[in-house]
Amino acid sequence: MNKSKFDLANLYQEVTNASATLRFLICNDCGWSEATFYRKMRTNSYSEAEVDSIKKNTESLLDKIKLDVNNNGRAREADTRLEEFKNTAETYDELDKINDTKIDENSVSKEITELGEA
């Protein structure tokens, strides 16, 4: 049997965590609490700036997932969208709490180093 180099487990975990990550990014960008996020979603009432933030963060997250798919399911190398995504999130620890997964600090350090070299 030929082993595939496609990392379905990583991709599945990323897609599973996408809704929580999107909520975090939007709340962080708009200055909302989690309760405000759900209230805004229920009432469907947003300012133009909030709509822009929602679109920007959704596109960024979807681009990240698409690029991971094109990289055989593995997290992709540094690129401008990843940099934008990382700059939006305050810390990896906060995303860790939201996604309830442990982020490998060695791979994060490597990615940050690679971003600096790019």
* Secondary structure (DSSP) of 21-73: HHHHHHHHHHT--HHHHHHHHHHT---HHHHHHHHHHHHHHHHHHHHHHHTTT
pLDDT at site 37: 95
pLDDT at site 111: 58
Each domain of the chain, given as residue ranges in start order, spans 8-117
Helix (H) or strand (E) holding 40: helix 34-43
- pLDDT tens, position by position, for the chain (118 residues)? 456 677 788 778 888 888 999 999 999 999 999 999 999 999 999 999 999 999 999 999 888 888 777 777 666 544 445 555 555 554 555 565 555 545 555 555 565 566 665 5
pLDDT at site 66: 84
pLDDT at site 29: 93
8 A C-beta contact, residue 98 and residue 24: yes
Give Cα 22 to chain centroid, integer Å.
7
Which tokens in the block code for residue 100? 């309830």
pLDDT at site 78: 44
Query: What is the spatial distance between Cα 74 and Cα 70, in angstroms, rounded to a whole number?
Result: 9
Which tokens in the block code for residue 103? 């982020």
Question: Residues in the chain, how many?
Answer: 118
8 A C-beta contact, residue 67 and residue 79: yes
